Every structure is written in C-alpha cells, then in structure tokens.
Structure 1
Amino acid sequence: MPFARLSTATTPTCHIGLGLAAVGRPGYINLGRDRDLGEDRSVDALRERTHELLDAAYAQGVRYVDVARSYGRSEEFLAGWLAARPEIDDVVVGSKWGYTYTAGWTTDAERHEVKDHGAGTYERQRAETAALLGDRLDLYQIHSVTPDSPALTDKDLHARLAEAAAQGVTVGFSTSGPAQADAIRAALAVTVDGEPLFRTVQSTYNLLETSAAPALAEAHDAGLTVIVKEGMANGRLAAPHAPPELRAVARETGLGCDAVALAVVLRQPWAGVVLSGAATAAQLASNLHAAVVDLDEDQLTRLAALAEDPRGYWERRGRLPWH
C-alpha cells in the first residue's frame, strides 16, 4: 500500500496530514473562518494560501494531503503545487468522490454540495480527478458513507472500484453522521471475489465525538489504514470556542487547545493519520505541536468527560453555518 511511505517516515509529524477542505473553496462550516480567511476569497487568493500551507506542511514533515471533488478547487490547487515541485515524490495524496461541488465559488449558495454514490457519479468524478492528479493519486475514497448508502450494496460499483484497485489506486471510504460505527462495519463486510474491497477508512473522531472508536479499532485490526478527520470538531475545540476543561489542560501543558485535542486522537492505537484542517500557517504550526504533547492519566480522564451523545453532536454540526 502507498501508506507504507508514512510508516517508514522518521519525522514526528508524518502521521499528521493536511486536509484542504477549509481552503479549497470560499465557504465552509469551520468556526472562526471569517477571521482566518478575511475578505479575499478569490480563486487566486485561495490558491496562494493553499500553496503556502502545503509548503509549510511539507517543510515540517507532513506527508499526507487530503482533498475531494467537493472541496471546490482543492484537487486543482494541489495538482498545481505538485507540478511546480517535481522533486517531491514522497507525498501521499488522497481524494474522495461522491459529492459534487455546487456553490459556484460563493459563500451563500442554497446548496454547497450534492451527494450521489452511484456508479455514474463515480465514473465522472474519477475522470475529473484523473485529469488533475493523474498518477499522483494514491487513495480514492467514497465520500461520507452512511449505513443506507447504495455504495455498500452496489455490486457494479464494487467491480469498478476493484478495477481501480487492480490498477494501483488504493480504495477506501469515509463516514459521517451518528451511525458511523454501523457504516464502518457494513463496509468491512464488502468483498469482491472473496477479498475485502476497502483498504482505508476516514472517520470523524474527536474529544466530543468518540462513538466510532470501537469500529475503527476493528477496521485497524482488519488491516485498514485509519484516517481521522474533524479532530478539531469544525473549530469547536479551538480557542476561543474550546470547552473550559480543554482550556485548562492546555494551560497545564503550555500548548494550544488544538494541539492537546489532536494529541488525544494521535494517542489512539488505531489512528494511522490524523488530519489538520488548518486555514493558516500559524494554525498548522500549532496543530503540529500535537506530536509532542505529553498528557498524564488525570488529564486524559478529564478530557474524556467531554464526549457528547453522537446524535446531539451531529445535530449541532448540521446547524453550523457556511461562511
């Protein structure tokens, strides 16, 4: 698997990846985004910001980058950065299909993305991704699988994904929603010619949403690489929005709330890659301190008490505004 490049890397930050959801399009649901990005959300401004983030991430040891067809121009921005740096050949690139970006580069669209897990959407978006990333694509994931997703039962789609896997692209899936654990277990049961189809899983896990942990441990034990997204709960775990207990532990460590929150995720024995969704180089640098945060059992116990009911967590996430 291409993820072997991560397991053999020696930098302490190699298991922290950079996700480009927050900078690949002008609108997103992260708290504090107005402050982070400012008024200029033009294509050129976000391209420049993305390239600056990628430069900073690579210089500090990050070797995994996460994009998606629905993240605006994230694939395009990443492809341009890679093309300008042909000497870089050790970055693992993951993208996702299944949502179509529909906001037209605005922040106030009625619908920012449309979900469709059909084989037709896969073929169209696979061609779009290939046109931008070519053979630099290592991992292609179904975006936000839920237990009722047709992607779990569509045998024609499974055959097409298996064909892509035979050509060298690792096939995975991501999950969202309060039933992530059910979706993960259902996906683990998907086989083609008796062999498991999926080799990676990308799920939401953070101090507030821990419900997928047992299923992610099962996926890890089954040989899948586990990628963790939304470790900062869309900004709810970053200062000044962080819960008081997280702020208290951060003061005790002398590091930021973000570093502490991500450090807890990195401690999970099943976590292969933990994504930073930083929108600025300063946020990225702070996030990367997670690799050196040392937490004692008392601090971990206090932080564990922050976990919320998953349905309440996802209902609140669904109310976050695009801005």
Structure 2
Amino acid sequence: MPFARLASATTPTCHLGLGLAAVGRPGYINLGRDQDLGADRSVEALRARTHELLDAAYAQGVRYFDAARSYGRSEEFLAGWLKARPDADDVVVGSKWGYTYTADWTTDAERHEVKDHGLATYERQRAETADLLGTRLDLYQIHSVTPDSPALTDKELHARLAESAAQGLTVGFSTSGPAQADAIRAALAVTVDGEPLFRTVQSTYNALEPSAGPALAEAHDAGLTVIVKEGMANGRLAQPHAPDALKAVAAETSLGCDAVALALVLRQPWAGVVLSGAATAGQLASNLHAAVVDLDDDQVERLSALAEEPRAYWEKRATLPWH
C-alpha cells in the first residue's frame, strides 16, 4: 500500500494532501475563486500556479497529491512537476477516472464534465493517465461512485481493475451525493476471487455534511485508507462565507476558519488523508495550520451542530456556479 509511506512520515502535515481540482482547469465551483485566480486562466498561468502550490506543499511536508482525468490538465501539470522534482520520490500520487473533461478550457461551458463508469471509459482513461504519469501513479480511483453506479456491478470492469491491482496499482473509489454511505457499503462488498477489490475510499466529509462518517469508519476498520475531500465544503467554511459558530471557534484558536474546519476532519480516527483544495500558496499555508489546531469537546460540539440534512447540502452544492 503506497499510503504506508505516510505512516512513517514525521512532519505534522503528512496526513494533509493537496487536491488539484481548483487549479487544473479554468472553471470550478469553489466560492471566491474569481479573486483567488484572477483574470489570467491560461494554461501556462495555471501550470505555474499548480507548480507553485506543489512546491509549497512539498516544502511543508505534504506527501499526497490528488488529480483526476476531469480536472482539466491536472495530471499533465502534476507530471511536469514530478519530472522537474526527482527529489520528490517519496510522494504518493493519486488520480481518478470516470469523468471526461468537456469544457475545452472555458469557464462558461454548458457541461464541464461527463460521467461514464463503463469499461471502455476506464480503458481509455487508464491509457491517458499512464501516458502522463507512468509509473509515478500509485492510486487510481473510480470518480464519484453512487449507489446506482454500474461500476459496483460490472464484473468485467472488476476483473480489469483487479489485473491493475495485481500489477502493483492501488485501486480505490470516491463518492459524492446524499447517499455516500450506501455507496461506500456497496463498494466494500465488491470482491474478485473472494478478495476485496478496493483499498481506498475518498469521500466528502465536513462540518456541514458529516453523514458518511459511520460508513467511513467501517471502511477504515475493513483496512481501507480513507481520503477526505471537500473538507471546506467548496469554500462555504472559509472566510467570509463561514457560519458564525465556526468564526467564533476560529477566533478562540487564533487561526483561520479553514484550519479549524479541516482540523475537525483530521481528528476523526478513521481519517487517513485530508485534502486541501487551495488555489493560492497563502490558502495552502493557512489550511496546513489544521495540523496544530487542538479543539476541545465544547468547540467540537458547537461545530457538530452545523450539520445539514444531506440532501439539502447536496442540493445547495449543485447550485454553486462554475466560475
């Protein structure tokens, strides 16, 4: 398991990772992104931005980087950075397949990505990822599995994923939507020749949407590495959008709302890696303070009261504009 490398890391930020969704393409749904990136969303500008973030993350002890086929040129940007940084041979590299990027480097496309969990898409995207990341790829995840995903029942796909696993690639899945817990439990039941297929799970979990927590604990107990995405709720838990209760706790800790929000996730005993989705080096530095936030029981209780009904949370997320 590539994540065993993190277990021996000594930096306090080793269990924080960097996700590239916000910087691998010009359009995304994170709040405040217009100010974060400015007007220049050219390929070269975002390549430079991504490399700056990767440099900063690595220097501060981050050792997991997360991309996807649908994150625009995220794999390309990451591959270029890895080539230029042969000293970074201790990082764990993850990517995802199952969505195709369709926005053609614009922010106002009618559709930014198209989902397909079929075998043909896996074969095509696996080859595309291999062309870019080659042997540096450690983890390949099915992108956004839901309970009705054909990826949960396609035996031929399972066989192909098992072949990749036998060749040394770790196979995982991510989840999205109000029924994440159901998707996680269904994926835990997928086996090939009597052995569990998936070794990692990546799910949305944050102060507003903690409903996957019990299922993620079950996945951890079953031996999977748990990766948490959207710990900042796509910017809803960052200044100036954060709820008053979060702002109050942040003031008590003398740190940012973002650090507190991510610290709430880090304290979960099943959380193996918690992703920062930072778009600037300043945001990243602030996010990484989560590793030193020490929340007391009262603060945790106040933050836990922020939880929304899962369907309402995901309906709100669906209204966030691409910009």
Q: Secondary structure of 1:172's match?
A: strand
Q: Secondary structure of 2:322's match?
A: coil
Q: CA offsets per residue over residues 81-132 of structure 1, 9 Å max, x none? A: 0001112210000000000000000000000000000000000000000000
Mapped partners of 2:158, 2:297: distance in 1: 44
The aligned runs of 1:1-323 (5 Å cut-off) are: 1-323=1-323
State the identity as a percent. 88
Q: CA offsets per residue over residues 116-159 of structure 1, 9 Å max, x none? A: 00000000000000000000000000000000000000000000
Mapped partners of 2:6, 2:102: distance in 1: 33
Mapped partners of 1:55, 1:255: distance in 2: 23
Q: Secondary structure of 1:126's match?
A: helix
Q: Offset at 1:231?
A: 0.1
Mapped partners of 1:291, 1:39: distance in 2: 32
Mapped partners of 2:294, 2:3: distance in 1: 26
> What are the ranges of 5 or more consecutive residues in structure 1 without an aligned counterpart?
none
Per the normalisation by structure 1, the TM-score is 1.00
Moved over 2 A (4+): none
> What are the ranges of 5 or more consecutive residues in structure 2 without an aligned counterpart?
none
RMSD of aligned residue pairs (Cα, Å): 0.3
Q: Partner letter of residue 161 of structure 1?
A: L
Q: CA offsets per residue over residues 211-256 of structure 1, 9 Å max, x none? A: 0000000000000000000000000000000000000000000000
Mapped partners of 1:308, 1:232: distance in 2: 14
Q: CA offsets per residue over residues 182-211 of structure 1, 9 Å max, x none? A: 000000000000000000000000000000
Per the normalisation by structure 2, the TM-score is 1.00
Mapped partners of 1:86, 1:167: distance in 2: 23
Mapped partners of 2:176, 2:233: distance in 1: 12
Mapped partners of 1:298, 1:271: distance in 2: 21
